[in-house]
Amino acid sequence: MTTSGRRRSPGSSLPVTIGVEEEYLLVDPVSRQVRAEAEKVVAQASEELGDRVGTELTRYQVEVRTDPHTDLADLRDQLRSTRAAVATAAAQLGLAVISSGTPVLGQQTPPPFTPGHRYAQSVAMFGALDDEQSACACHVHIGVADERTAVQLSNHLRPWLPALIALAANSPYWQGRDTGYASWRTMTWGRWPVAGPPPYFASHAHFQDLVGSLIGSGTLMDRGGVYWDIRPSHHVPTLEVRIADATPTVEDTVFLAGAVKGLAVTALTAIRHGEPAPQPEPEMLRAACWRTARDGLTGSSINLRTGDLEPAADLIGRLTHTLHRTLSATDLASLHAARAHLATHGNGADRQRAAYRQRRHLPDVIDHLIHSMTATTPPATPARRRLTNWS
């Protein structure tokens, strides 16, 4: 993420800045299988996007970055123009682009890796763990004053990880079949040695000591290999929320970014007032993340206060209540259409499955995702049971 946003002092009332990284997959619009042409598409798209577009671990993937924004409407505008630029660059090479947490058709195992020392080092160190990393994410960066604030903010945001998984789940298919999960990408990333929900950090020194020990023990190559779902960035002054699948539409990304922003505003207020962060049991937090990765918006989630199962819609209801209390009227207006579409048509996983059910034909899922990539309004999908208790 570019870093032109202002630094803030702890407890500052300056607006919270939000930036986004999105990862996309390249597909053949005829066969609908993934294509290993990332370097060509990046070279073409960089004529318009400059260094805001780049390659990723596999040659199926393209990554883009936004600038920091304080207003969700401005973020939406940049995301639309960025997606359009990548889609145009791909089309000029006879390709199409989709935003999905996992490929649906055509991926090889192991995948074709992008040349470079770091990627080669990762493959040598972690072996087959890299074989399924054609998975794509949407990372939201929150501007922070310093790493100490980022660590405190991480503690406060941890309990909301299951809700963010449910909202953004968009990876039901892998190797041409339905995995039974709304977010299979969450499962593949959880296999890494330093991944999943981050620990509760007793202090900034605790964070630094733990990461140093993980590097010293040979578990991590460096700070860039910390794959916790929330982590202080190692190269820009942000806290990075990494939990979400790549989202199908711009509106889905804006809703995710708005949710993270609202939670960050709440957490920064709590930090300023000296309020302690909740400390759910690590095992229960991990279990709750697994449950929402499986069920998405339509099944059950685990209430981290009681340990009981509850409808996932109840969890999302608490999240949206928080957003209404913390986000500005302008930002809430930006979220309205996406929230209504989620309530009626579900998350990306629900929409992928709906596209498949019409003819039970997986290429239809790819066609739906190609259309979703640059749609100016959320694409219509078959109606489902409306989640009236959180819309």
Sequence spans of domains, the chain: 18-374
pLDDT of residue 388: 52
Alpha helices (runs of H) in 96-236, residue ranges in sequence order: 117-126, 147-157, 161-168, 184-189, 204-216
Report the predicted TM-score, pTM, of the whole model to 2 decimal places. 0.94
Q: Which two tokens stand for residue 384?
A: 């489902």
pLDDT of residue 366: 98
Task: Tell me the pairing of strands 173-174 and 96-98.
Answer: unpaired
Asked if residue 368 has pLDDT above 80, the reply is yes
pLDDT of residue 4: 38
Name the residue among 331, 182, 322, 337 with its Cα closest to residue 247: 182
How far apart are alpha carbons 233 and 216 in whole angstroms?
A: 19
Architecture of domain 18-374: 2-Layer Sandwich (3.30)
| CA terminus-to-terminus distance, the chain | 31
Asked if residue 308 has pLDDT above 90, the reply is yes
Q: What's the average model confidence in pLDDT over 317-333? A: 94
Q: What is the pLDDT of residues 98-135, one digit of tens each?
A: 999 999 999 888 999 999 999 899 999 999 999 988 99
Residue 125 and residue 221 in contact, taking contact as beta carbons nearer than 8 Å: yes
Q: What's the average model confidence in pLDDT over 216-232? A: 96
Q: What is the pLDDT of residues 192-222, one digit of tens each?
A: 999 999 999 999 999 999 999 999 999 999 9
Asked if residue 385 has pLDDT above 80, the reply is no
Distances in whole angstroms, Cα of residue 301 to Cα of each of 77, 242, 287, 311, 391: 33, 20, 9, 6, 17
Q: What's the average model confidence in pLDDT over 352-371? A: 98
- Which residues lie below 8 Å from residue 106, measured CB to CB, with a gap of 6+? 27, 28, 31, 32, 33, 34, 35
Asked if residue 293 has pLDDT above 90, the reply is yes
How far apart are alpha carbons 113 and 127 in whole angstroms?
A: 12
- Residue 171 bridge partners (DSSP): 183
